[in-house]
């Protein structure tokens, strides 16, 4: 769509992009309001024959993916606003890639067919590759190639595992299917599960990223443009955790039990290692990047606690991390736009010049640290409850994430924002302009909201999460029951049918897919 | 049905090439584009005839030449490939001083040879077609007569190619000795009955594999590929990378799919092809990493793709093989078309250095080239991804899990060099300006067709799969 608008009309392009992204967000809000919190079934289901042999266009959302979709659509207008002046060259291509990226991400969260999921999972790599590679920093090519190769390595092995399951399913039942609920029902031999879990787990662990596979993350973050970093931290990393929740854990519960100790230790190493690395970073952006490694470790640990508190906390913390880390990257981006440096030692006393910015930065940082009253606290406390229930030692060690976060973030804040002005450049800094306030304010509002009244969000999550938990523990497989009348869809789906057409954000972003084919 | 109509695809193409030669001799030499139009016209006629013959199952010469749906499908994709190659050649020949009338005639002769090869199941007739194809190819490789590289390519291709033909004939002779037959179904029958199944039959099969392994460029019979691809005129390179590969795999499919299903003692051949597939995928992709010439990169990439196709042969899955060949046709010819688009009078830009900043200077060419590369690398939503998906999933179904793991890891390596071209196009600032000849509507038509094909195959593969299923449903030799 953008491709037909001439290159010179950059502002027109920007406004158009902004309007589209806001419209997408508003449409996705309908999803929230119409969401039925009383059922674990996926809702707003759309299903259509695509290729045959079990490969269908099949999408829908449940209580877990709902929020991730909302997070994505919420951040998109903010990201576009934030890059209003930062991206000066090749605006058109930039916006096209941004929307392609959004399409891919939402697709990953809503896909209920393994093949469709894989297609979106891979398709999302291409725009991200270009975003880092074209608009990135000095070592952009190194970073972007590393990013793509790491992710591909995991996902290709996952593809082999998908083939294998596809084939197993065919042999067992005589029909082709890639529907994930059919796979939930499949009881696999534990020794087979181990291999499949490893293949899936590797793909998702690289994406999260868990400890030994994290090395692409700091590079990608540091080199990516601000908007790229925000999307990367806020949403892309969540695809890994989402993958664990949606695919790896419920499909291979026995293997999961077997690997739990290893995974737990890896998460813990990630937490502590990420925190320590963040402490010694000289660059603000890589500090935030390492803090992501540490926080994602906590989220994974909470999810692997396999109890209601842990899972809900983990999911909630995914949203929090998306908001607060995204906001931190935005703040770093604002600093960078003014100073063209990200080294901590070049700053100092910024708050004197930029009092409004300083307030925003402080709130975002405290949210990341987990101050009560802000969103981070709720998530972290739930996570730690869950972990504590599962394993006390891990919980005690896991708390270090909060301590370390306080240490490196506060110390960074102190060095950057306070103290005397050592660098003359800082004196010329201007405070936030209206545009910057406009895009930071919604995030801060959400931080308070999620911190003070989390029930808005948790309520609609409960059933889905407990159902997931049942599936993982195989106590009572609700999905099995659901699947019996899978052929004739339950009544409530029919009721939502009219809305589902226009309330799926994927519909909105589809025209942009065409741009690529032009 | 036994009818002389079965000959019509071959006859149309041969008639076209003869007409081109006559026109070349009798009319002025200055403007040769009308020769291209004549050829295109005959190709369209050929395509239309093939579509008419769909589901008719004509055959002639006692079934030695039969147009089953599968054969017709191959004939159609070969015709499409030749059509695209002629489109991308038209301006190129004038720009690169290779504008000789026999060019089109030779292309059509090569096509007729290929049509013969895919529409017969008799090894002798296959050899006949192969020779028609090969001799035309040798001449086509040397079409840029003033260029040393082009001459080198022609000689190299000729020497190694005749070697491979000799191997093939020897193999056919040995198979005849072992089974008293030259038709593939009878050979399979003879091998299955076991009476004649000594080392002779096995060695014969091995030699046939050598002969066709050369044509489709699998390791270790790939040595000619990079030099010939680099030296030959670029449209001819596109032709070489697709045409012989399609026919080679069509023959291997006719031979080995029933062989693996019927003959019990086929493990030796299976193991051999397994090894060939594995080293082809590994070596092709690894060597491509070190290349800096775009044509050489694509040469090694086509070797690697031969490896993936070999996996489909091992998986005995005709559908995925045919789909892969179709997708491969569009993405590879498309990639070469994009390279041709980046050329000017007497010069082509072939080094990676030349591609710096192309993506923004020539956004349309850059973007389409990027799509073809992404498809070759196997990313969704392109045809290349689905092709790999079908092949690998069929292979897993046949229990070739370790081979598939090798395959996906090799294609991970391939991502690196395909993306490297994109890096140069989009992420580096140009160090010097290049100017290209832009007035080339035929070429852009070809680019558009390839792009359309690749996205159609990637997003709505159902349409083509229906045809492929019809093609596969009737197999006279099974």
> Does the beta-carbon distance from A160 to B415 stay under 8 Å?
no
> Does the beta-carbon distance from A52 to B465 stay under 8 Å?
yes
Number of helices followed by number of strands (H, E) in chain B: 19, 4
Q: Which residues of A39-70 are buried (b: 16+ CB within 10 A; e: fewer)?
A: bbbbbbbbeeebbebbbbbbbbbbbbbbbbbb
Alpha-carbon distance B415 to nearest alpha carbon in chain A (angstroms): 8
> Does the beta-carbon distance from B374 to A126 stay under 8 Å?
yes
On whether any CB of chain A is under 8 Å from the CB of B371, the answer is: yes
Q: Please, which residues 320-339 of chain B have a Cβ atom closer than 8 Å to chain A?
A: none
pLDDT at position A39: 67
ipTM score over 0.95, yes or no: no
- CA–CA gap between residue B116 and residue B127 (Å, rounded): 9
Q: Please, which residues 20-59 of chain A have a Cβ atom closer than 8 Å to chain B?
A: 49-52
> Does the beta-carbon distance from A122 to B385 stay under 8 Å?
yes
Alpha-carbon distance B380 to nearest alpha carbon in chain A (angstroms): 5
Q: What are the C-alpha distances in Å from A254 to residues A167, A193, A201, A257, A259?
A: 20, 7, 14, 5, 9
Instruction: Tell me the three state secondary structure of residue A49.
Output: strand
Are A245 and A180 in contact by the 8 Å Cβ rule? The answer is: no
- CA–CA gap between residue A20 and residue A15 (Å, rounded): 9
> Does the beta-carbon distance from A133 to B426 stay under 8 Å?
yes
Kindly report the three-state secondary structure assignment for every residue of A331-395: HHHHHHHHHCCCEHHHCCCHHHHCHHHHHHHHHHHHHHHCCCCCHHHHHHHHHHHHHHHHCHHHH
Q: Which of A119, A179, A106, A128 is nearest to A155 (CA)?
A: A119
Are B369 and B284 in contact by the 8 Å Cβ rule? The answer is: no
Q: Please, which residues 110-139 of chain B have a Cβ atom closer than 8 Å to chain A?
A: none
Global pTM? 0.84
Residues with Cβ within 8 Å of A314's Cβ and at least 6 positions away in sequence, in order, are A241, A299, A300, A302, A303, A305, A383, A386
Q: Which of B375, B456, B396 is nearest to A163 (CA)?
A: B396
On whether any CB of chain A is under 8 Å from the CB of B289, the answer is: no
Instruction: Tell me the three state secondary structure of residue A52.
Output: strand
> Does the beta-carbon distance from B379 to A145 stay under 8 Å?
no
Out of B385, B412, B465, whose CB is closest to A152? B412
Helix (H) or strand (E) holding B477: none
Instruction: Tell me the three state secondary structure of residue A54.
Output: coil
Out of A123, A148, A156, whose CB is closest to B419? A148
pLDDT at position A260: 84
Out of B412, B423, B462, whose CB is closest to A51? B462
On whether any CB of chain A is under 8 Å from the CB of B416, the answer is: yes
Out of B393, B408, B415, whose CB is closest to A166? B393
Residues with Cβ within 8 Å of A178's Cβ and at least 6 positions away in sequence, in order, are A54, A55, A56, A113, A114, A115, A116, A162, A166
Q: Which residues of A touch B387 (CB under 8 A)?
A: none
Q: Which residues of B touch A118 (CB under 8 A)?
A: 380
On whether any CB of chain B is under 8 Å from the CB of A148, the answer is: yes
> Does the beta-carbon distance from A166 to B404 stay under 8 Å?
no
Out of B379, B396, B427, whose CB is closest to A126? B379
pLDDT at position A437: 81
pLDDT at position A177: 75
> Does the beta-carbon distance from A149 to B415 stay under 8 Å?
yes
Alpha-carbon distance B376 to nearest alpha carbon in chain A (angstroms): 14
Residue of A nearest to B455 (CA): A517
> Does the beta-carbon distance from B416 to A149 stay under 8 Å?
yes
> Does the beta-carbon distance from B389 to A159 stay under 8 Å?
yes
Cα atoms in the 13 Å half-sphere on the side-chain side of A446: 22
Q: Show the CA angle centred on residue A200, arms to residues A197 and A203, nearest 5°.
A: 140
On whether any CB of chain B is under 8 Å from the CB of A161, the answer is: no
pLDDT at position A506: 40
Sign of CA dihedral A210, A215, A216, A222: positive
| pLDDT per residue as tens digits for the range B205-222 | 899 999 999 988 888 888
- The DSSP letter of residue A189 is P
Q: Which of B140, B103, B411 is nearest to B277 (CA)?
A: B411
Residue of B nearest to A144 (CA): B423
> Does the beta-carbon distance from B465 to A152 stay under 8 Å?
no
pLDDT at position B109: 93
Residues with Cβ within 8 Å of A268's Cβ and at least 6 positions away in sequence, in order, are A297, A301, A394, A397, A398
**Tokens matching residue B211:** 């002969």
Helix (H) or strand (E) holding B454: helix B441-459
Residue with tokens 């994009």: B338
Q: Please, which residues 196-235 of chain B have a Cβ atom closer than 8 Å to chain A?
A: none
**Tokens matching residue A462:** 């409960």
On whether any CB of chain A is under 8 Å from the CB of B360, the answer is: yes
On whether any CB of chain B is under 8 Å from the CB of A103, the answer is: no
Low-confidence ranges of chain B (pLDDT < 50): 476-478
Q: Which residues of A touch B449 (CB under 8 A)?
A: none
Alpha-carbon distance A43 to nearest alpha carbon in chain B (angstroms): 25
Q: Which residues of B touch A123 (CB under 8 A)?
A: 379-381
- The DSSP letter of residue A412 is H
**Tokens matching residue B26:** 């009798």
What is the DSSP code string of B141-172?
HT-STT-HHHHHHHHHHHHHHHHHHHHHHHHH
On whether any CB of chain A is under 8 Å from the CB of B415, the answer is: yes
Are A440 and A335 in contact by the 8 Å Cβ rule? The answer is: no
On whether any CB of chain B is under 8 Å from the CB of A486, the answer is: no
pLDDT in tens, chain A (518 residues): 344 444 456 667 777 777 777 777 777 777 777 776 666 667 777 777 776 666 777 777 777 788 888 888 888 888 888 777 777 677 777 888 888 888 888 888 888 888 888 888 888 888 888 888 888 777 788 888 888 888 888 888 888 888 888 888 887 777 777 777 777 777 777 788 888 888 888 888 888 888 788 888 888 888 888 888 888 888 888 888 888 888 888 888 788 888 888 888 888 888 888 888 888 888 888 888 888 888 888 888 888 888 888 888 888 888 888 888 888 888 888 888 877 777 877 777 777 778 888 888 888 888 888 888 788 888 888 888 888 888 788 888 888 888 888 888 888 888 888 877 777 777 777 777 787 888 888 888 888 888 888 777 777 777 777 777 777 776 444 344 344 333 333 333 333 333 333 333 443 334 333 333 33
Residue of A nearest to B424 (CA): A141
Rounded to whole angstroms, the maximal C-alpha distance in chain A is 73
- CA–CA gap between residue A289 and residue A486 (Å, rounded): 43
The alpha-carbon radius of gyration of chain A (Å, integer) is 22
Q: Which residues of A touch B404 (CB under 8 A)?
A: 160, 163
- CA–CA gap between residue A3 and residue A18 (Å, rounded): 16
- CA–CA gap between residue B424 and residue B434 (Å, rounded): 14
- CA–CA gap between residue B347 and residue B424 (Å, rounded): 20
Q: Show the CA angle centred on residue B315, arms to residues A200 and B459, nearest 5°.
A: 60
Angle separating helix axes A308-339 and A63-82, nearest 10 degrees: 10
End-to-end CA, chain B: 18
On whether any CB of chain A is under 8 Å from the CB of B408, the answer is: yes
Sign of CA dihedral A348, A354, A356, A360: negative
Alpha-carbon distance A161 to nearest alpha carbon in chain B (angstroms): 9
The alpha-carbon radius of gyration of chain B (Å, integer) is 21
> Does the beta-carbon distance from B415 to A148 stay under 8 Å?
yes
- CA–CA gap between residue B440 and residue B61 (Å, rounded): 44
- CA–CA gap between residue A95 and residue A310 (Å, rounded): 37
Residue of B nearest to A139 (CA): B427
- CA–CA gap between residue A40 and residue A463 (Å, rounded): 6
Sign of CA dihedral A150, A156, A161, A162: positive
Helix (H) or strand (E) holding A492: helix A491-503
What is the DSSP code string of A424-480?
HHHHT-----HHHHHHHHHHHHHHHHHHH-THHHHTTTHHHHHHHHHHHHTSS-HHH
Q: Which of A155, A127, A154, A151 is nearest to A228 (CA)?
A: A127
Out of A123, A149, A166, whose CB is closest to B381? A123
Q: Are strands B343-344 and B65-67 parallel, antiparallel or unpaired?
A: unpaired
Count of CB pairs separated by less than 8 Å, A with B: 83
The backbone torsions φ and ψ at residue A344, rounded to the nearest 5 degrees and listed phi first, read -60, -35
Residues with Cβ within 8 Å of B309's Cβ and at least 6 positions away in sequence, in order, are B216, B245, B249, B321, B324, B325, B328, B391
Residue of A nearest to B399 (CA): A164
- CA–CA gap between residue B218 and residue B214 (Å, rounded): 7
On whether any CB of chain A is under 8 Å from the CB of B462, the answer is: yes
- CA–CA gap between residue A291 and residue A285 (Å, rounded): 10
């Amino acid at each position: 769509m953008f491709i037909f608008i001439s290159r010179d009309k950059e502002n027109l392009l920007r406004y158009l992009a902004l309007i589209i992204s806001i419209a997408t967000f508003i449409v996705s809000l309908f999803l929230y309001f119409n969401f039925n919190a009383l059922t674990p079934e996926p809702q707003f289901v759309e299903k259509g024959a695509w290729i045959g042999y079990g490969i269908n266009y099949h999408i829908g959302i449940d209580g877990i993916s709902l929020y991730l979709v909302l997070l994505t659509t919420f951040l998109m207008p903010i990201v576009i606003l934030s890059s209003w002046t930062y991206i000066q060259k090749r605006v058109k291509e930039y916006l096209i890639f941004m929307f392609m990226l959004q399409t891919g991400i939402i697709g990953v969260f809503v896909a209920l067919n393994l093949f469709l999921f894989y297609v979106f999972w891979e398709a999302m790599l291409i725009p991200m590759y270009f975003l880092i590679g074209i608009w990135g920093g000095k070592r952009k090519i190194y970073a972007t190639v590393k990013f793509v190769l790491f992710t591909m390595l995991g996902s290709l092995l996952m593809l082999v595992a998908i083939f294998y399951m596809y084939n197993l399913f065919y042999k067992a039942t005589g029909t082709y299917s890639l529907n994930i609920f059919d796979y939930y029902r499949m009881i696999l031999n534990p020794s087979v599960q181990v291999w499949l879990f490893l293949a899936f787990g590797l793909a998702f662990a690289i994406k999260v990223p868990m400890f030994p596979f994290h090395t692409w993350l700091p590079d990608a973050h540091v080199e990516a443009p601000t908007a790229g970093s925000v999307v990367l931290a806020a949403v892309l990393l969540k695809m890994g955790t989402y993958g664990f929740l949606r695919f790896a854990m419920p499909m291979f519960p026995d293997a999961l039990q077997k690997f739990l100790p290893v995974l737990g230790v890896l998460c813990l190493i990630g937490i502590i290692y990420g925190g320590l690395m963040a402490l010694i970073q000289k660059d603000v952006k890589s500090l935030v990047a390492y803090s992501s490694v540490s926080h994602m470790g906590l989220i994974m640990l909470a999810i692997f606690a396999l109890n209601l508190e842990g899972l809900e906390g983990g999911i909630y913390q995914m949203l929090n991390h998306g908001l607060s880390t995204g906001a931190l990257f935005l703040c770093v981006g604002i600093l960078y736009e003014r100073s063209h440096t990200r080294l901590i030692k070049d700053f100092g006393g910024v708050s004197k010049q930029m009092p409004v910015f300083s307030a925003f930065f402080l709130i975002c940082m405290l949210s990341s640290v987990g101050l009560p009253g802000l969103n981070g606290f709720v998530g972290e406390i739930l996570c730690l409850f869950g972990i504590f229930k599962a394993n006390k030692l891990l919980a005690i060690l896991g708390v270090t994430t909060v301590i370390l976060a306080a240490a490196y973030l506060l110390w960074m804040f102190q060095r950057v924002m306070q103290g005397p002005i050592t660098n003359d450049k800082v004196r010329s800094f201007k405070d936030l302009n209206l545009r910057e306030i406009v895009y930071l304010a919604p995030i801060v509002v959400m931080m308070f909201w999620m911190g003070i009244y989390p029930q808005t969000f948790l309520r609609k999550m409960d059933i889905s999460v407990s159902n997931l938990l049942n599936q993982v523990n195989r106590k009572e497989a609700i999905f099995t029951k659901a699947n019996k009348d899978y052929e004739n869809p339950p009544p409530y789906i029919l009721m939502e049918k009219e809305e589902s057409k226009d309330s799926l954000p994927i519909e909105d972003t589809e025209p942009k897919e065409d741009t690529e084919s032009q | 049905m036994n009818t002389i109509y079965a000959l019509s695809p071959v006859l149309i193409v041969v008639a076209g090439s003869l007409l081109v030669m006559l026109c070349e001799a009798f009319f002025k030499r200055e403007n040769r584009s009308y020769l291209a139009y004549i050829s295109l016209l005959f190709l369209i006629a050929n395509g239309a005839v093939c579509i008419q013959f769909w589901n008719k199952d004509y055959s002639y010469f006692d079934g030695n030449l039969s147009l089953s749906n599968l054969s017709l499908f191959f004939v159609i994709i070969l015709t499409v490939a030749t059509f695209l190659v002629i489109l991308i050649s038209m301006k190129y020949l004038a720009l690169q001083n290779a504008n000789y009338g026999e060019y089109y005639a030779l292309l059509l002769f090569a096509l007729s040879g290929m049509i013969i090869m895919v529409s017969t199941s008799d090894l002798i007739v296959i050899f006949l077609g192969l020779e028609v194809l090969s001799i035309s190819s040798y001449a086509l490789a040397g079409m840029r007569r003033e260029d040393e590289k082009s001459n080198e390519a022609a000689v190299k291709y000729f020497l190694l190619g005749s070697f491979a033909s000799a191997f093939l004939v020897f193999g056919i002779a040995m198979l005849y000795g072992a089974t008293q037959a030259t038709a593939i179904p009878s050979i399979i029958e003879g091998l299955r009955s076991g009476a004649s199944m000594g080392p002779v039959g096995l060695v014969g099969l091995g030699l046939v594999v050598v002969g066709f392994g050369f044509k489709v460029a699998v390791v270790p019979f790939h040595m000619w590929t990079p030099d010939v691809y680099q030296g030959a005129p670029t449209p001819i390179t596109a032709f070489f990378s697709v045409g012989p590969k399609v026919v080679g795999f069509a023959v291997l499919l006719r031979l080995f799919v029933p062989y693996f299903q019927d003959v019990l003692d086929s493990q030796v051949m299976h193991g051999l092809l397994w090894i060939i597939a594995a080293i082809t995928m590994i070596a092709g992709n690894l060597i491509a990493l070190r290349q800096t010439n775009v044509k050489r990169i694509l040469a090694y990439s086509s070797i690697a793709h031969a490896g993936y196709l070999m996996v489909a042969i091992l998986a005995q899955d005709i559908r995925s093989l045919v789909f892969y060949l179709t997708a491969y046709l569009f993405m590879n010819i498309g990639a070469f078309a994009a390279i041709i688009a980046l050329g000017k009078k007497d010069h082509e830009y072939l080094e990676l250095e030349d591609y710096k900043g192309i993506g923004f200077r020539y956004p349309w060419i850059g973007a389409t080239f990027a799509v073809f590369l992404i498809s070759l690398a196997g990313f969704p939503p392109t045809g290349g991804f689905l092709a790999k998906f079908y092949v690998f999933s069929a292979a897993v179904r046949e229990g070739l899990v370790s081979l598939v793991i090798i395959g996906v890891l090799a294609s991970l390596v391939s991502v690196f060099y395909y993306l490297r071209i994109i890096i140069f196009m989009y992420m580096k600032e140009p160090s010097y300006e290049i100017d290209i000849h832009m007035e080339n509507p035929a070429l852009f038509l070809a680019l558009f067709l390839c792009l359309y094909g690749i996205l159609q195959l990637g997003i709505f593969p159902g349409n083509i799969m229906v045809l492929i299923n019809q093609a596969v449903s009737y197999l006279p030799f099974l």
